[in-house]
Amino acid sequence: MQSSTEFDAIVIGSGITGGWAAKELTERGLKVLVLERGRDLQHGSGYLGEHAPSWKMTFNGRADREELAKDYEVQSHCYAMSQANKQFWNVDSEHPYALDESKPFDWIRGDVVGGRSLMWGRQTYRLSEQDFNANAKDGHGIPWPVGYEDIAPWYSYVEKFIGVNGRRENLPQLPDGEFQKPMPWMALEETISDRLKTAAPDVTLTNSRSAILTEPLPGRSACHYCGPCERGCSTGSYFSSQSSTLPAARATGNLTLVSDAIVERLEYDQSAERISSVYVVDRNTRTRKKYSAKVFFLCASTVGSTQLLLNSKSESFPNGLGNKSGTLGHYLMDHSFGVSGLGVFFDHLDSYYYGNRPTGLYIPRFRNLDGADDQDTDFLRGYGFQTGTLRADWRFQHNRPGFGEGYKEALRKPGYWLFALIGFAETLPVKRNRMYLSRNKVDRYGIPQVVFDYEWQENDYKLRQDANKQAKRILNSAGAAIVTEGSDDLSTPGLGIHEMGTARMGDDPNQSVLNKHNQAHGIPNLFVTDGSFMASSSCVNPSLTYMAFTARACAYATELLASGDL
């Protein structure tokens, strides 16, 4: 086995948090090795389907159903996967996990340098003080060891670098940030907003706060509204590791990135009470190599990092690295989501839109707020609505009666407007919701496969039911001519693609895996900064929080290194 020890820090994963760890650590002078399980991919030139017209793709851009069933059984459940970007995604037949059909969990994974930062939805929100206090207030989960005031400066630091467009609303449940100018609204959206101010004043309709540039940043252009973001963005208009943090890390001259590197386990030195090295399998040659460093950052995704910790057993940690509390793998959370209501509008039929705005609007949480009088709620926490606005075209009326030239001409004319409310609800931290390692199934590298045991709880269903009820009220208040209610069924766990919580942080080492600096209890040179550290889930998209905590942890780790404490 080959061995290499020339690095100050090793970062596992090159996605949203791994890219940030690489940037922060290299810019602070450390020699950094990034290990990425996925294939190499070049920014821009690697986005093969970015603007490919359908007629240049197999089956006119439609999915090959046999291929999906064979190789992408899970990934094909994600809305963002298509023939144009399938090279970004995990090939399930090659890298499986142990599926339990009675308790499904869709683990959505990237398989290239940059990971899911290439395909993410780019919704970028801060957790609020109410979010950080929720566990302590209602007793579900352990208290967060930090508060909003601790993270606010890091939110600002990250927002300025990645570029977030949005409107300031001065809402305590959705703290404002460092925003570029907001993306423009459609005429119908302005009308809906005006009506809601009168008919539903408790509801705020605002821009989705998205990591998409409306003003250029160095090396990145403002969005030109081409639309298919999930295919990759060669102009760097949306934030990804490929467009932003990895180039910044490379510019320091301190970065080494190795792709096709399957990290098998971390080695714990009992005498030094430190991590000494990581063991890596080359996915193509199956050769093994060991890398050593002074400090280690796990950024392999909530599930990926926890899988690695569980597989890194030793005499000191027989139940998984850093797992003396017994909580590793437990308290798995994901946001439930779905269309809560759809409204048909006949306003502004004389207007249309141009370009493809790559995001909708947002209705922040308005239920169970601190200081609010929600006497009719029978659930804990809350939810928000992401919106979608669409003008009906031929796809909505192709089965209308007609024939010949007149029929074809009628299909060319746009129809009514549609305004959808998609609810994303907070999930409580529950110990029984967990991931663990299979006892009898291993992957092609001999690593135990992941198994999920996850079920929605009564509170999840109550949140969904209330979201549907409130969506109907909002759409009626907005003046919808027809309102279609959403189903009370919940999405398949995992499809929210916001999995978090399996190596939670806390002050008590007997109840948590990490401390307030994302540092493993009792293992001072190990940091975990992907979604696994989350102590609760809020109802907002969590990626900004992951990035802020990563930057903060990197600052802390380099201070410890400088002082000789690592």
pLDDT in tens, 47-87: 999 998 888 888 888 888 899 999 999 999 999 999 999 99
pLDDT for the residue numbered 57: 84
Which has the closest alpha carbon to 99: 108, 109, 107, 87? 107
pLDDT for the residue numbered 115: 97
Q: How far is CA 21 from CA 303, 507, 565, in A?
A: 18, 23, 19
Residue ranges, comma separated, of all CATH 3.50.50.60 domains in the chain are: 1-53+88-130+241-335+430-454+498-566
pTM of the model: 0.96
pLDDT for the residue numbered 354: 86
499 Cα distance to chain centroid: 8
pLDDT for the residue numbered 413: 86
Question: Looking at this protein, which amino acid is placed at residue 251?
Answer: A
Question: Looking at this protein, which amino acid is placed at residue 330?
Answer: H
Fold of 1-53+88-130+241-335+430-454+498-566: FAD/NAD(P)-binding domain (3.50.50)
pLDDT for the residue numbered 374: 67
Contact between 420 and 388 (Cβ < 8 Å): yes
Burial of 198 (0-12, 13-18, 19+ CB in 10 A): exposed
DSSP label at residue 419: E
Contact between 205 and 363 (Cβ < 8 Å): yes
Residues 165, 178: Cα–Cα separation, whole Å: 8
Contact between 11 and 21 (Cβ < 8 Å): yes
Residue pLDDT, tens place only, 507-566: 999 999 999 999 999 999 999 999 999 999 999 999 999 999 999 999 999 999 999 988
Contact between 109 and 117 (Cβ < 8 Å): no
Contact between 109 and 36 (Cβ < 8 Å): no
Residues 47, 50: Cα–Cα separation, whole Å: 5
Residues 227, 194: Cα–Cα separation, whole Å: 27
| 164-165 vs 179-180, strand pairing mode | parallel
Q: Which residue has the tokens 């597989």?
A: 311
In the predicted model, residues of the chain with pLDDT beneath 50 are none
Residues 550, 534: Cα–Cα separation, whole Å: 12
Q: What is the CB neighbour count within 10 angstroms for residue 91?
A: 15
Kind plus residue range of the DSSP H or E element containing 66: helix 65-71
The secondary structure of the chain in percent helix, strand, coil, rounded to multiples of 5, reads: 25, 20, 50
Contact between 419 and 339 (Cβ < 8 Å): no
pLDDT for the residue numbered 394: 80
Question: Looking at this protein, which amino acid is placed at residue 87?
Answer: Q
